[in-house]
Amino acid sequence: MQVAVVTGPGAVELRDEPRPAAGPEDVLVAVDACGLCTMERRLFEGTKPIYPVAPGHEAAGRVIEVGEAVAPLPGTPGIGELVTMDLLTRCGTCHLCRRGRSALCKRPQGGALSDGTISMGAGLAEVVRVAAAQTYRVGEIPVEHAAMGEPLACVVHSVRLSGFRAGDRVAVIGAGYMGRLHLALCRAWGASQVGMIDVSGPRQTEAAEAGADWATAPDDTAGHYGAHDIVFVTAGTPGAVELALDLCDDAGAVVLYGAFPKDVTASVGADRVHHHELSIIGVFSQEPQDWRTAAGLLESGALSADLDRLVTARYGLAEVAEALTLATSEPVYRVMVG
């Protein structure tokens, strides 16, 4: 089979790799679509210099083989079924895994191809092997939607840890792909209003078309200060934390979802947090309960129209170089490969 390997900035090649064999508790999945997220873009543009590496962790496809130990169990995906897949690894043994916070597992993520090449999901391939427990049936939906299972699980994780409740007033800083998923999920779960903030005029317009109650630039938000129960920061930029706090009402929560540059700091008044009972919550990745929720949302079709809007382009595996070039050179939501 073939698997895409990024070998350096702007360089990717398809390598022949032995087709994996399903272990007793595994399934083999023929990959039909894999989304290119920030990690793949950073690897290809050279800002995350880990080479060679086989990336791709937002993958979906149909089961082609089922391990003998799990095949008889109800709930195990059967041959031919469409699944979304959790391609991350968790040890289950470290303190955080035992606390139920496996998104922060202490064991380094990843694996290796047969020649020792680092694997970070390796979903940009024809076939992947994954534990049956980490596959989720999604019914007969567009495969591009199924490939959004991982980022949607991350957003479910974000909204769950935020303490969100139906009727909450929400703002989202950053109207890119992850910001738009926050918009879609909060609207579906009963937010009384969701506002979007972005420096891009076109993205403000597209967010409004997707159902945002208001969309504006960071410099034009004063009229919205003090009017939100939860503010999600999906674009980690200087000043974002301070803006999020300004947008919060008393007892509000600021959720830091997007990654920040390591040198970015925030000025937070401790007494302000104390007297107004504000919360600042960091969120990272996803956990199995978030996957179950995300898979259910996908199968239900509740977010179908929202997800359709977020597919920017689709390429075959042989065109992975063109897909990565597009994803790193133009504003996109999700570019799919497979």
Burial of 73 (0-12, 13-18, 19+ CB in 10 A): exposed
Write down the pLDDT at residue 214: 98
What the block records as the tokens of 95 is 């303190």
Cα separation of 158 and 144, whole Å? 22
Whether residue 283 contacts residue 255, with contact meaning beta carbons closer than 8 Å, is answered with yes
- H helices present in the chain, as ranges: 38-45, 95-98, 143-146, 149-162, 177-188, 201-209, 240-247, 270-275, 288-300, 304-309, 320-329
Tens-digit pLDDT profile for residues 151-195: 999 999 999 999 999 999 999 999 999 999 999 999 999 999 999
Q: Is the dihedral of CA 165, 166, 169, 171 positive or negative?
A: positive
Helix (H) or strand (E) holding 326: helix 320-329
pLDDT of 53:
97
d(CA 135, CA 76): 8
What does the pLDDT read at residue 89?
Answer: 87
Locus of tokens 């065109």: 319
- Domains of the chain are 2-148+310-337 (3.90.180.10), 155-282 (3.40.50.720)
Q: What pLDDT does residue 177 have?
A: 98
The residues of the chain scoring below 70 in pLDDT are none
Please tell me the predicted confidence (pLDDT) of residue 109. 82
